Amino acid sequence: MPDAGSEDFLVHRELLFSIVYNMLGTVADTEDVVQETWLSWAAVQDKEIAHPRAYLVRIAVNHALTQMRRARRSRESYIGPWLPEPVLTEPDTPDTAIRTESVSLAMLVVLETLTPLQRAVFVLREAFAYDHGEIAAILGRSPAAVRQLAHRAKERVEARRPRYDLDRGTQRIVTERFLDAAIGGDLDALMDVLAPEVVMWSDGGGKRRAALRVIEGREKVARLVAAVSAQLPTFSVRLVRINGGPGAVLFIGGTLYAAAVFDPAPGGERVRGIYGLINPDKLERLAAAVPPPAERLAP
Protein backbone atom coordinates (compact mmCIF):
# COMPACT_ATOMS: atom_id res chain seq x y z
CA MET A 1 0.00 0.00 0.00
CA PRO A 2 1.54 3.38 -1.03
CA ASP A 3 2.41 5.82 1.74
CA ALA A 4 1.04 9.36 1.92
CA GLY A 5 4.01 10.83 0.04
CA SER A 6 3.63 8.36 -2.81
CA GLU A 7 -0.10 9.03 -2.97
CA ASP A 8 0.51 12.78 -3.22
CA PHE A 9 2.85 12.21 -6.15
CA LEU A 10 0.48 9.81 -7.93
CA VAL A 11 -2.45 12.21 -7.53
CA HIS A 12 -0.52 14.97 -9.30
CA ARG A 13 1.51 12.89 -11.76
CA GLU A 14 -0.75 13.54 -14.74
CA LEU A 15 -0.66 17.28 -14.13
CA LEU A 16 3.15 17.19 -13.92
CA PHE A 17 3.39 15.14 -17.10
CA SER A 18 1.13 17.52 -19.01
CA ILE A 19 2.95 20.69 -17.89
CA VAL A 20 6.37 19.23 -18.66
CA TYR A 21 5.34 17.81 -22.05
CA ASN A 22 4.04 21.24 -23.08
CA MET A 23 7.40 22.70 -22.09
CA LEU A 24 9.56 20.05 -23.78
CA GLY A 25 7.55 18.55 -26.64
CA THR A 26 9.03 15.05 -26.23
CA VAL A 27 7.55 12.17 -24.29
CA ALA A 28 10.87 10.50 -23.39
CA ASP A 29 12.32 13.71 -21.94
CA THR A 30 9.05 14.35 -20.12
CA GLU A 31 9.14 10.92 -18.53
CA ASP A 32 12.74 11.55 -17.44
CA VAL A 33 11.79 14.84 -15.81
CA VAL A 34 8.80 13.29 -14.05
CA GLN A 35 11.10 10.55 -12.73
CA GLU A 36 13.60 13.18 -11.52
CA THR A 37 10.71 14.97 -9.83
CA TRP A 38 9.74 11.79 -8.03
CA LEU A 39 13.31 11.28 -6.81
CA SER A 40 13.46 14.86 -5.54
CA TRP A 41 10.08 14.42 -3.87
CA ALA A 42 11.04 11.09 -2.29
CA ALA A 43 14.07 12.75 -0.71
CA VAL A 44 11.86 15.16 1.29
CA GLN A 45 8.94 12.89 2.17
CA ASP A 46 9.94 12.87 5.82
CA LYS A 47 9.41 16.64 5.97
CA GLU A 48 6.14 18.48 6.41
CA ILE A 49 5.08 19.88 3.00
CA ALA A 50 2.10 22.20 3.38
CA HIS A 51 1.16 22.28 -0.31
CA PRO A 52 2.32 19.13 -2.14
CA ARG A 53 0.90 20.15 -5.53
CA ALA A 54 2.69 23.52 -5.55
CA TYR A 55 5.91 21.91 -4.36
CA LEU A 56 5.79 19.17 -7.02
CA VAL A 57 5.02 21.62 -9.84
CA ARG A 58 7.93 23.80 -8.78
CA ILE A 59 10.32 20.84 -8.81
CA ALA A 60 9.04 19.59 -12.18
CA VAL A 61 9.16 22.98 -13.90
CA ASN A 62 12.70 23.67 -12.77
CA HIS A 63 13.89 20.20 -13.83
CA ALA A 64 12.17 20.84 -17.18
CA LEU A 65 13.96 24.17 -17.60
CA THR A 66 17.30 22.42 -17.15
CA GLN A 67 16.28 19.77 -19.70
CA MET A 68 15.12 22.44 -22.17
CA ARG A 69 18.54 24.07 -22.16
CA ARG A 70 20.28 20.72 -22.73
CA ALA A 71 17.85 19.79 -25.52
CA ARG A 72 18.35 23.06 -27.38
CA ARG A 73 22.08 22.51 -27.51
CA SER A 74 21.66 18.96 -28.83
CA ARG A 75 19.19 20.07 -31.52
CA GLU A 76 21.85 22.21 -33.15
CA SER A 77 23.10 19.03 -34.85
CA TYR A 78 19.63 17.68 -35.71
CA ILE A 79 19.26 16.83 -39.40
CA GLY A 80 16.43 18.81 -41.00
CA PRO A 81 13.50 20.51 -39.26
CA TRP A 82 12.80 19.38 -35.70
CA LEU A 83 9.19 18.70 -34.70
CA PRO A 84 7.72 17.78 -31.31
CA GLU A 85 6.84 14.16 -30.64
CA PRO A 86 3.17 13.58 -31.50
CA VAL A 87 0.74 12.08 -29.00
CA LEU A 88 -2.58 10.43 -29.74
CA THR A 89 -5.48 12.29 -28.14
CA GLU A 90 -8.36 10.09 -29.17
CA PRO A 91 -10.90 9.22 -26.46
CA ASP A 92 -9.97 6.28 -24.24
CA THR A 93 -6.25 6.35 -25.07
CA PRO A 94 -3.38 6.22 -22.58
CA ASP A 95 -2.42 9.88 -23.10
CA THR A 96 -5.04 11.23 -20.70
CA ALA A 97 -2.49 13.51 -19.05
CA ILE A 98 -1.69 15.32 -22.26
CA ARG A 99 -5.28 15.28 -23.48
CA THR A 100 -6.42 17.14 -20.36
CA GLU A 101 -4.61 20.31 -21.46
CA SER A 102 -3.78 19.68 -25.11
CA VAL A 103 -1.48 22.08 -26.90
CA SER A 104 -1.60 21.61 -30.66
CA LEU A 105 1.48 20.49 -32.52
CA ALA A 106 1.43 23.77 -34.44
CA MET A 107 1.44 25.69 -31.15
CA LEU A 108 4.29 23.57 -29.80
CA VAL A 109 6.31 24.54 -32.89
CA VAL A 110 5.64 28.22 -32.16
CA LEU A 111 6.64 27.74 -28.51
CA GLU A 112 10.05 26.57 -29.71
CA THR A 113 10.74 30.23 -30.64
CA LEU A 114 10.47 31.35 -27.00
CA THR A 115 13.25 31.38 -24.44
CA PRO A 116 12.99 28.60 -21.83
CA LEU A 117 11.70 31.02 -19.18
CA GLN A 118 9.18 32.59 -21.56
CA ARG A 119 7.90 29.15 -22.51
CA ALA A 120 7.55 28.06 -18.89
CA VAL A 121 5.58 31.21 -18.07
CA PHE A 122 3.39 30.91 -21.18
CA VAL A 123 2.54 27.27 -20.51
CA LEU A 124 1.74 27.85 -16.84
CA ARG A 125 -0.26 31.00 -17.54
CA GLU A 126 -2.10 30.22 -20.78
CA ALA A 127 -2.56 26.44 -20.62
CA PHE A 128 -2.91 25.93 -16.86
CA ALA A 129 -4.24 29.31 -15.67
CA TYR A 130 -1.62 29.94 -12.97
CA ASP A 131 -1.56 33.57 -11.86
CA HIS A 132 1.57 35.73 -11.93
CA GLY A 133 2.19 35.34 -8.21
CA GLU A 134 2.01 31.55 -8.37
CA ILE A 135 4.37 31.45 -11.34
CA ALA A 136 6.77 33.80 -9.56
CA ALA A 137 6.92 31.38 -6.62
CA ILE A 138 7.53 28.42 -8.97
CA LEU A 139 10.35 30.14 -10.85
CA GLY A 140 11.87 32.10 -7.98
CA ARG A 141 11.26 35.41 -9.78
CA SER A 142 9.40 38.56 -8.85
CA PRO A 143 5.77 38.94 -10.00
CA ALA A 144 6.83 42.00 -12.03
CA ALA A 145 9.47 39.96 -13.87
CA VAL A 146 6.91 37.22 -14.55
CA ARG A 147 4.40 39.74 -15.94
CA GLN A 148 7.05 41.02 -18.34
CA LEU A 149 7.95 37.48 -19.43
CA ALA A 150 4.26 36.64 -19.90
CA HIS A 151 3.65 39.77 -21.97
CA ARG A 152 6.61 39.15 -24.26
CA ALA A 153 5.78 35.47 -24.68
CA LYS A 154 2.12 36.12 -25.49
CA GLU A 155 3.02 38.91 -27.90
CA ARG A 156 5.48 36.67 -29.75
CA VAL A 157 3.08 33.71 -29.91
CA GLU A 158 0.11 35.76 -31.12
CA ALA A 159 2.25 37.39 -33.81
CA ARG A 160 3.02 33.93 -35.21
CA ARG A 161 -0.28 32.23 -34.44
CA PRO A 162 -3.33 34.44 -33.89
CA ARG A 163 -6.06 32.66 -31.96
CA TYR A 164 -9.19 31.31 -33.63
CA ASP A 165 -11.60 28.45 -32.97
CA LEU A 166 -12.86 25.79 -35.37
CA ASP A 167 -15.23 22.97 -34.53
CA ARG A 168 -14.08 19.38 -35.03
CA GLY A 169 -16.46 18.80 -37.94
CA THR A 170 -14.92 21.65 -39.95
CA GLN A 171 -11.42 20.46 -39.10
CA ARG A 172 -12.25 16.95 -40.29
CA ILE A 173 -13.76 18.16 -43.57
CA VAL A 174 -10.69 20.16 -44.61
CA THR A 175 -8.41 17.30 -43.52
CA GLU A 176 -10.34 14.83 -45.67
CA ARG A 177 -10.28 17.23 -48.63
CA PHE A 178 -6.51 17.49 -48.36
CA LEU A 179 -6.02 13.73 -48.03
CA ASP A 180 -8.30 13.02 -51.02
CA ALA A 181 -6.29 15.44 -53.15
CA ALA A 182 -2.94 14.14 -51.88
CA ILE A 183 -3.77 10.46 -52.33
CA GLY A 184 -5.00 11.11 -55.85
CA GLY A 185 -2.01 13.27 -56.70
CA ASP A 186 -4.47 15.89 -57.96
CA LEU A 187 -2.38 19.06 -58.27
CA ASP A 188 -5.37 21.32 -58.97
CA ALA A 189 -7.28 19.98 -55.97
CA LEU A 190 -4.19 20.43 -53.79
CA MET A 191 -3.82 24.02 -54.94
CA ASP A 192 -7.46 24.60 -54.03
CA VAL A 193 -7.25 23.14 -50.51
CA LEU A 194 -3.92 24.73 -49.54
CA ALA A 195 -3.75 28.29 -48.22
CA PRO A 196 -1.41 30.62 -50.16
CA GLU A 197 0.84 30.99 -47.09
CA VAL A 198 0.95 27.24 -46.32
CA VAL A 199 4.12 25.81 -44.76
CA MET A 200 5.17 22.17 -44.68
CA TRP A 201 7.51 20.66 -42.09
CA SER A 202 9.01 17.23 -42.64
CA ASP A 203 10.90 15.62 -39.74
CA GLY A 204 12.92 12.57 -40.72
CA GLY A 205 15.74 13.18 -38.26
CA GLY A 206 18.27 11.84 -40.76
CA LYS A 207 16.75 8.36 -40.39
CA ARG A 208 14.26 8.54 -43.25
CA ARG A 209 14.24 10.67 -46.36
CA ALA A 210 12.61 14.04 -45.75
CA ALA A 211 12.92 17.65 -46.84
CA LEU A 212 15.87 19.29 -45.10
CA ARG A 213 14.12 22.64 -44.77
CA VAL A 214 10.62 23.98 -44.24
CA ILE A 215 8.75 24.30 -47.56
CA GLU A 216 6.74 27.50 -47.95
CA GLY A 217 4.07 28.52 -50.45
CA ARG A 218 1.11 26.76 -52.05
CA GLU A 219 2.71 25.79 -55.36
CA LYS A 220 5.89 24.34 -53.83
CA VAL A 221 3.97 22.39 -51.18
CA ALA A 222 1.40 21.07 -53.69
CA ARG A 223 4.08 19.85 -56.07
CA LEU A 224 6.04 18.17 -53.29
CA VAL A 225 2.96 16.41 -51.86
CA ALA A 226 1.93 15.19 -55.33
CA ALA A 227 5.46 13.92 -56.04
CA VAL A 228 5.72 12.08 -52.72
CA SER A 229 2.28 10.51 -53.17
CA ALA A 230 3.26 9.25 -56.64
CA GLN A 231 6.40 7.57 -55.25
CA LEU A 232 4.73 5.72 -52.37
CA PRO A 233 3.92 2.02 -52.67
CA THR A 234 0.47 0.73 -51.73
CA PHE A 235 -0.46 2.28 -48.39
CA SER A 236 -3.36 2.86 -46.02
CA VAL A 237 -4.38 5.89 -43.99
CA ARG A 238 -6.25 6.31 -40.73
CA LEU A 239 -7.63 9.63 -39.49
CA VAL A 240 -6.79 10.34 -35.84
CA ARG A 241 -6.62 13.19 -33.34
CA ILE A 242 -3.03 14.17 -32.57
CA ASN A 243 -2.28 16.73 -29.84
CA GLY A 244 -5.95 17.63 -29.87
CA GLY A 245 -6.02 18.47 -33.59
CA PRO A 246 -6.75 16.77 -36.93
CA GLY A 247 -4.16 14.30 -38.13
CA ALA A 248 -3.55 11.10 -40.05
CA VAL A 249 -1.22 8.13 -39.84
CA LEU A 250 0.09 6.33 -42.91
CA PHE A 251 0.83 2.62 -43.00
CA ILE A 252 2.98 0.76 -45.52
CA GLY A 253 2.80 -3.01 -45.39
CA GLY A 254 0.99 -2.85 -42.06
CA THR A 255 3.78 -0.76 -40.48
CA LEU A 256 3.18 2.80 -39.36
CA TYR A 257 5.47 4.83 -41.62
CA ALA A 258 4.47 8.45 -41.05
CA ALA A 259 2.13 10.75 -39.18
CA ALA A 260 0.86 14.12 -40.33
CA VAL A 261 -0.89 16.90 -38.45
CA PHE A 262 -2.88 19.53 -40.31
CA ASP A 263 -3.35 23.11 -39.20
CA PRO A 264 -6.50 24.59 -40.79
CA ALA A 265 -6.52 28.24 -41.74
CA PRO A 266 -9.05 30.57 -40.08
CA GLY A 267 -12.41 29.83 -41.64
CA GLY A 268 -11.54 26.17 -42.02
CA GLU A 269 -11.63 26.00 -45.82
CA ARG A 270 -7.92 25.49 -46.40
CA VAL A 271 -4.83 24.01 -44.74
CA ARG A 272 -2.14 26.48 -43.70
CA GLY A 273 0.27 24.08 -41.97
CA ILE A 274 1.34 20.49 -42.58
CA TYR A 275 3.57 18.82 -40.01
CA GLY A 276 4.92 15.50 -41.27
CA LEU A 277 6.69 13.14 -38.89
CA ILE A 278 8.74 10.36 -40.48
CA ASN A 279 11.46 9.89 -37.87
CA PRO A 280 10.72 6.38 -36.54
CA ASP A 281 11.94 7.32 -33.06
CA LYS A 282 9.07 9.80 -32.76
CA LEU A 283 6.44 7.35 -34.04
CA GLU A 284 6.90 4.49 -31.56
CA ARG A 285 4.14 5.70 -29.25
CA LEU A 286 1.64 6.13 -32.10
CA ALA A 287 2.61 2.77 -33.64
CA ALA A 288 1.81 1.02 -30.37
CA ALA A 289 -1.59 2.71 -30.08
CA VAL A 290 -2.99 2.88 -33.63
CA PRO A 291 -3.83 -0.31 -35.59
CA PRO A 292 -3.70 -0.18 -39.41
CA PRO A 293 -7.06 0.11 -41.18
CA ALA A 294 -8.33 -2.83 -43.20
CA GLU A 295 -8.46 -1.01 -46.53
CA ARG A 296 -5.40 -0.13 -48.57
CA LEU A 297 -4.99 2.74 -50.99
CA ALA A 298 -2.79 3.15 -54.01
CA PRO A 299 -1.48 6.57 -55.03
184 and 259 in a single domain? The answer is yes
Contact assessment for residue 103 and residue 111, using Cβ atoms and an 8 Å cutoff: yes
Cα distance between residue 71 and residue 65, in whole Å = 10
179 and 153 in a single domain? The answer is no
Domain boundary, last residue among 109, 132, 157: 157
Q: What is the pLDDT of residue 91?
A: 67
Give the CATH number of the domain where residue 258 resides: 3.10.450.50
Domain boundary, last residue among 103, 127, 157: 157
Amino acid at 271: V
Domain boundary, last residue among 157, 179, 209: 157
187 and 127 in a single domain? The answer is no
153 and 285 in a single domain? The answer is no
| Count of domains for the chain | 2
141 and 28 in a single domain? The answer is yes
Choose among 109, 27, 98, 12: nearest CA to 287. 27
173 and 103 in a single domain? The answer is no
Give the CATH number of the domain where residue 93 resides: 1.20.140.160
Choose among 175, 197, 198, 178: nearest CA to 189. 178
Q: What is the pLDDT of residue 1?
A: 39
| Domain encompassing residue 224 | 166-296
66 and 103 in a single domain? The answer is yes
Cα distance between residue 22 and residue 93, in whole Å = 18
Q: What is the pLDDT of residue 72?
A: 86
29 and 139 in a single domain? The answer is yes
Q: What is the mean pLDDT of each run of 10 residues along the chain (299 residues)?
A: 71 93 94 96 81 94 95 88 91 57 86 96 94 96 97 94 82 93 92 96 94 96 92 87 91 92 92 96 92 65
Maximal C-alpha separation, the chain: 67
13 and 124 in a single domain? The answer is yes
Q: What is the pLDDT of residue 99?
A: 55
Q: What is the pLDDT of residue 96?
A: 54
34 and 87 in a single domain? The answer is yes
